[in-house]
Amino acid sequence: THFVSVENLCTVIWTWDPPEGASPNCTLRYFSHFDNKQDKKIAPETHRSKEVPLNERICLQVGSQCSTNESDNPSILVEKCTPPPEGDPESAVTELQCVWHNLSYMKCTWLPGRKTSPDTNYTLYYWHSSLGKILQCEDIYREGQHIGCSFALTNLKDSSFEQHSVQIVVKDNAGKIRPSFNIVPLTSHVKPDPPHIKRLFFQNGNLYVQWTNPQNFYSRCLSYQVEVNNSQTETSDIFYVEEAKCQNSEFEGNLEGTICFMVPGVLPDTLNTVRIRVRTNKLCYEDDKLWSNWSQAMSIGENTDPTFYVSMLLATPVIVAGAIIVLLLYLKRLKIIIFPPIPDPGKIFKEMFGDQNDDTLHWKKYDIYEKQTKEETDSVVLIENLKRAPQ
């Protein structure tokens, strides 16, 4: 006889009775596997459990044998399956994802199903091994089309805590949508908080960066990315750091609990802006794809006064326009000097021998009259002078 039951949210337990008529000399072993012959196991226990999201039917096949050798043919395999979730599959939420933020709280988000009413009231339940019962997430909110919920999840002192998982189910209060399950391993989907830059300084032509890691993480479990922006070259250099250490131990000991990294080839006479972000590495976690947000930027060096550049930007068009005007005037005068205008002979002859109008004749008559009057006056003066001369 086989039985199947579900504990917590996603822990499925299969149990069965030993076969009847087994030989007293037979040490029974039970051969079991899931669909497609996955997770094969040979064990003496008459039960088997597994954490699995119950979004579809899960089946286990079990058979008995008298040996631990897998090549021995077991008895006829008996299959027992979990019932499929109730409800229309298109009513279940989609893209259900959960991220463990800084090992302090978990944030889950999802999209409504295709066949879901807009006024659906969602509920998220969660469970993990450190809880005595299933809890409901109270902080449900909307971010655009996504719906989310966050709940506290701290890293307990139990060293085996991170080896467990968090079981998640999202459904509605009215039972109109199909439940959606998810299992989040605590060794993945971890996003650290940004680090905090403590100090920047130059030494022997190199830039040294000191920062503190986010809480709850060991330095050996993190990888780093350092971004340096230079105001003069307007470039952004990114350095990937697996092990943050300065070559000089003097710098590391200046601030307790700080991490140090040396950035080579940085121009010290310009403004340099530094940012850092971190992610978990595979030394401690299975997932290394979630970067933290960038830290707050810190700058070192001097930035060139932008007033000079603004003034030059405004004055340049005026200077260029003035130079063009002066150049055009100079070229016009230069053209006149090099290529003087050629006189028109017809105009010259016309001025010298052209037709005389009435005004011209009047002025010529006046000149003749003036000349005759002057001659007569000169004659009279001459006669008077001769008469007065002594005899």
Cα distance between residue 13 and residue 10, in whole Å: 10
Query: What's the confidence (pLDDT) of residue 391?
Result: 47
Cα distance between residue 168 and residue 106, in whole Å: 11
Cα distance between residue 184 and residue 170, in whole Å: 14
Do the Cβ atoms of 154 and 103 come closer than 8 Å?
yes
* Residue-by-residue DSSP string for 179-229: -EEEEEETTSSEEPPP-EEEEEEEETTEEEEEEEPPTT--GGGEEEEEEEE
Smallest CA-to-CA distance from 81 within 180, 143, 4, 11 is with 4
Q: Hey, is 18 helix, strand or coil?
A: coil
pTM: 0.70
Query: What's the confidence (pLDDT) of residue 269?
Result: 82
Smallest CA-to-CA distance from 116 within 180, 184, 182 is with 180
Phi, psi for residue 148 in degrees, rounded to 5: -140, 170
- Structure token pair of residue 378: 């000169």
Smallest CA-to-CA distance from 222 within 235, 210, 213 is with 213
- Over its length of 391 residues, how does the chain's per-residue pLDDT go in tens digits? 678 999 999 999 999 988 887 777 788 888 888 877 778 888 889 999 999 999 999 999 998 888 766 666 667 888 889 988 888 999 999 999 999 999 999 999 999 999 888 888 999 999 998 888 999 999 899 988 999 999 999 865 555 666 689 999 999 988 889 999 999 998 889 999 999 999 999 888 888 999 999 988 888 889 999 999 988 777 788 898 887 766 555 554 444 568 888 888 787 788 999 999 999 998 888 888 899 999 999 999 876 555 545 566 777 878 887 777 877 777 766 666 666 666 666 666 565 655 555 554 444 445 555 555 665 565 655 555 555 555 4
Q: Hey, is 116 helix, strand or coil?
A: coil
Query: What's the confidence (pLDDT) of residue 1?
Result: 64
Query: What's the confidence (pLDDT) of residue 108?
Result: 96
* Residue-by-residue DSSP string for 30-99: EEEEEGGG-S-EEES-SEEEEE---SS--EEEEEEESSS-TTS--S--EEEEPPPPSS-GGGS-EEEEEE
Query: What's the confidence (pLDDT) of residue 122?
Result: 93
Query: What's the confidence (pLDDT) of residue 254?
Result: 47
- How many other C-beta atoms lie within 10 A of the C-beta of residue 106? 23
Q: Hey, is 382 helix, strand or coil?
A: helix
Element (H, E) at 296: none
* Residue-by-residue DSSP string for 302-364: -PPPHHHHHHHHHHHHHHHHHHHHHHHHHHHHHHHHHSPPPP-HHHHHHHHHSPP-HHHHHHH
Cα distance between residue 188 and residue 185, in whole Å: 6
- Structure token pair of residue 122: 């969602």
Query: What's the confidence (pLDDT) of residue 227?
Result: 93
The residue whose two tokens read 């068009």 is 317
Query: What's the confidence (pLDDT) of residue 159?
Result: 56
Helix/strand number for the chain, H first, E second:
4, 23
